[in-house]
Amino acid sequence: MSVTGRALATTLVLCGLGAAACGGTAGADLARDRGPVPAAGTQSGANPGREAGTGTGTDREPVTGASSTGGADAPSREGAAGTASDPASSASPVSGSGRAGPLTGKVVVVDPGHNGQNYRHPAEVNKKVNVLTQWKACDTTGTATANGYSEAAFTWDVSQRLAAILKSRGATVKLTRDGNSGVGPCITQRAAIGNRARADAAISVHADGSGTANHGFHVIMPEKIGGPVDPVVGASKKLGLTVRDAFRSGTGLSYSTYIGRQALDYRNDLGGLNLSTVPKIFIECGNMKNPAEAAKFQRAAFRQRIALSLANGLQAYLR
């Protein structure tokens, strides 16, 4: 781990949070990647998600031409990022103070998973790209809660909040997409954005779509593949451990009960990681198909809590 437990606790206290003990359970890998975007008017494969893979989950996301991000996305507009309605403040604001923030000089790339209109452009997002270990779909649709709140809307909202907090602490922040009404970018481009920015850290924000009884969050870190990510595998692991601890402490969510061990999963098939030359991780904030976690994700206050926890983890790593 890149910081000691004592240092992490100190960082969290400074941000208005107390450190909590971490615990979790290991489980079988049931919902890895969800499949590529289906052709218009067809059903998608099992658990459509971040990069097309061999997921063994059973949830299906139809792509029928009806918006998967329509009225059900209304919860994402409640208490929009940065508004006064958010009870959890960004903490440690420095704008206009004349003082350097704790992250001054640091560059962070925040990658909101998927995009709100991916489902309308199956040919474009299904185009195969080379992630070095295999060829995969350019992007995917993501999952959604039972009432239709999409992963793309969730990740966009959380990422905006996270960017605002990091900027308030002095960091330079680059987002891989500028809204939730477009398509992509491809997973290869998402990695390239972080590389071009020479980011000190990069994080891809996601939520999973598994069986309703499965719950908890997990962090995905890269493995060595004999490629560009190899030199930053160690730093990415340190980033992942630090973010995991801050996320657990700040949100109170449990370690995943169905993927990885103690909320840690190592992958060599994700283009966003394989092609990264900067320390990078994915965070699966929880299971959108689990009713309890879905309800939390649709509350603006809890999305702010997620963003603050991620910011604290990134800050602990970067300092």
Q: What residues act catalytically?
A: 284
Which residues sit opposite 264 in a β-bridge?
219, 261
Structure tokens at 71: 């009225």
Count of CB atoms situated within 10 Å of the CB of 182:
13
Q: Would you say 19 and 242 are in contact if contact means Cβ atoms under 8 Å apart?
A: no
**3-state SS assignment for residue 86:** coil
- What kind and span of H or E run contains 193? helix 187-197
At residue 174, the 3 state secondary structure works out as strand
Q: Report d(CA 55, CA 49) in Å as an integer.
A: 9
- The tokens describing 49, both together, are 């998600």
Please give the C-alpha separations between residue 319 and each of 164, 183, 199, 221, in angstroms, as whole numbers.
Answer: 18, 35, 14, 20
In whole angstroms, give the CA distance from residue 300 to residue 304: 6
Q: Give the integer Cα–Cα distance in Å for 78 and 145.
A: 16
Nearest to 55 by CA among 78, 76, 31: 31
Question: For the packed helices 300-318 and 233-251, what is the interaxial angle rounded to 10 degrees?
Answer: 140
CB atoms within 10 A of CB 286: 28
- Count other C-beta atoms under 10 Å from residue 179's C-beta: 12
